[in-house]
């Protein structure tokens, strides 16, 4: 755990991952435990960041990642997609539904970009950079590069899926990534949190608390 970090610069961006009703609300379709409690901290941190980018999971009906599409069970069943094993989820974040909307308590007026991902019916996308086929780009790397945003701080949901994959891909695209552990919550399927922590460690991705950020 890092204790101090250099102060923020104009090259720093906060990426707020998938703070949508279906993940955040206890009654959401794919509710992540503790999702609501990180909202105030995210709002407060975002207000002090020079740049803020939000992501939105944005699936069509019948999406490949929905268990219902295959007549299978969410969380435990998987399918073999052309790109490999795809975990199956409850129907969630369907385009233009209230479940896909950003949570109403999220209050980040200085948001510069809302990036939608997972909109291709046959490819899921945990990462904000690369879809689950690991080859289809979302365009975010080019956007960040063109804007000179080089150091990226990650918070939101879910720690072990979209936050984790995004931070890892950020490093693999040449960006510096830092994860705000206290401002993220996990789905926590068996082994997913451990696997995420191991991958962060292997790539030297720091996990810090927002209070350790010298703003
Ligand atoms: C996510 C599972 C399915 C996430 C999105 O935001 O972490 N997890 N779709
Ligand atoms: Zn999804």
Question: Who's near 70: CB < 8 A, 6+ residues apart?
Answer: 77, 79, 88
**What are the residues whose beta carbon lies below 5 Å from ligand 2 (ion)?**
57
Report pLDDT for 5: 74
Sites in the chain below the pLDDT cut of 70: 1-4, 215
Tell me which residue has tokens 């999220």.
Answer: 106
Ligand 2 mean position, distance from CA 18 (Å): 9
22, 80 Cβ separation under 8 angstroms: no
Share of the chain above pLDDT 90, in %: 95
Q: What are the tens digits of pLDDT across the range 58-88?
A: 999 999 999 999 999 999 999 999 999 999 9
Judged by its nearest atom, the ligand closest to the C-alpha of residue 16 is 1
Q: For 37, what's the count of Cα atoms within 13 Å in the CB-facing half-sphere?
A: 8
Report pLDDT for 200: 98
Q: What are the tens digits of pLDDT across the range 110-119?
A: 999 999 999 9
CATH class of 12-187: alpha beta
Long-range own/partner contacts, residues 31-36 (CB < 8 A, 24 or more apart): 32/157, 32/158, 32/185, 32/186, 32/187, 33/185, 33/188, 34/185, 35/157, 35/185, 36/103, 36/105
């Amino acid at each position: 755990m890092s204790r101090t970090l250099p102060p923020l610069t104009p090259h720093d961006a906060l990426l707020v991952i998938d703070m949508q009703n279906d993940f955040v609300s206890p009654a959401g379709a794919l509710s992540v435990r503790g999702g609501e409690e990180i909202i105030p901290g995210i709002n407060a941190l975002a207000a002090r960041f020079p740049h803020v980018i939000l992501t939105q999971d944005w699936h069509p009906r019948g999406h490949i990642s929905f268990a219902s599409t295959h007549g299978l069970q969410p969380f435990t069943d998987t399918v073999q997609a052309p790109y490999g094993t795809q975990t199956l989820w409850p129907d969630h974040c369907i385009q233009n539904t209230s479940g896909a909307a950003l949570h109403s308590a999220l209050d980040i007026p200085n948001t510069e970009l809302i990036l939608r991902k997972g909109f291709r019916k046959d490819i899921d996308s945990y990462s904000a950079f690369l879809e689950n086929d690991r080859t289809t780009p979302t365009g975010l790397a080019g956007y960040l590069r063109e804007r000179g945003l080089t150091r990226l701080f990650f918070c939101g949901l879910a720690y072990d899926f979209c936050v984790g994959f995004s931070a890892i891909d950020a490093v693999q695209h040449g960006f510096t990534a830092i994860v705000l552990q206290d401002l993220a919550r996990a789905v926590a399927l068996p082994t997913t949190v451990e696997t995420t922590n191991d991958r962060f460690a292997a790539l030297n991705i720091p996990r810090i608390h927002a209070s350790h950020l010298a703003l």
